[in-house]
Amino acid sequence: MTDEGRKTVLIVDDEEMVAESYELYLQDEYDTIVELSGGAALMELDQREVDLVLIDRRMPGMSGDVVIDHIDKWEMDFQVIMLTAVDPDIDIIDMPCDGYLTKPVSEDELADAVERAFLIDHYEDLIAEYNQLSEKYEVLTSQFSARELDTKKRFTDLEARMEEMEADIADTADRFSDSKLSDAFRQLH
């Protein structure tokens, strides 16, 4: 049963026991779906909406690399975390994934990585929306005088919304446990 508002995580690992343990680690916070092959994962993604895919890199048959290439080409909009027993190499730069974990992972590591991926997703949504509002703000302030705009409620609402979003963006950046990432986001902002 899917609780409304809960995020859905698709777990893909050819080792059934490993996939089940990831499900155990995440099921309190998220709805989970388990698939044991890359091919089955792609079929699942074709039929259901998920918010995050947690996928083993090296699997017999269709590897995790191939699956996330498909996800990238199909322009699917969700976070992807790659899990692998192999230490990351320079090739991960080109990999269309939002997180990378080296096995074995503990419950805390996995939960942190998933939470962080969702935070990044939320941050990106905020920035995209803020940029849209900011564009409109620029156009309006170049078109009208400050006195004219002050009398328009929709403009003052826009200003209030932008202020609210700035606070939300700063708060989201602070929630990243990695201080380097927090600092980087704060500088961007």
Comparison of 24 and 184: residue with beta carbon closer to another protein: 24
Residues at the contact surface with another protein, assessed by CB under 8 A: 14-15, 17-18, 20-22, 24-25, 37-39, 43, 58-63, 66, 84-87, 89, 102-107
- Kindly state the DSSP code that residue 7 receives in the 8-state scheme: -
Comparison of 20 and 129: residue with beta carbon closer to another protein: 20
State the minimum distance, in angstroms, from the CB of residue 101 to another protein.
Answer: 11
Comparison of 104 and 184: residue with beta carbon closer to another protein: 104
Comparison of 62 and 162: residue with beta carbon closer to another protein: 62
State how far the alpha carbon of 131 is from the alpha carbons of 28, 116, 117, 126, 127, in Å: 34, 22, 21, 9, 6
Secondary structure class of 151 (helix, strand, coil): coil
- Side-chain half-sphere of 74: how many Cα atoms within 13 Å? 13
Give me the residue label for tokens 């699917």.
Answer: 76
- Kindly state the DSSP code that residue 50 receives in the 8-state scheme: -
Comparison of 18 and 158: residue with beta carbon closer to another protein: 18
Token pair for residue 7?
């995020």
State the minimum distance, in angstroms, from the CB of residue 34 to another protein.
Answer: 12
* Amino acid residing at 94: D
- What is the Cα–Cα distance from 150 to 144, expressed in whole angstroms? 10
Query: Kind and range of the H or E element at 4?
Result: none
Q: Is the alpha carbon torsion for 131, 76, 116, 7 positive or negative?
A: positive
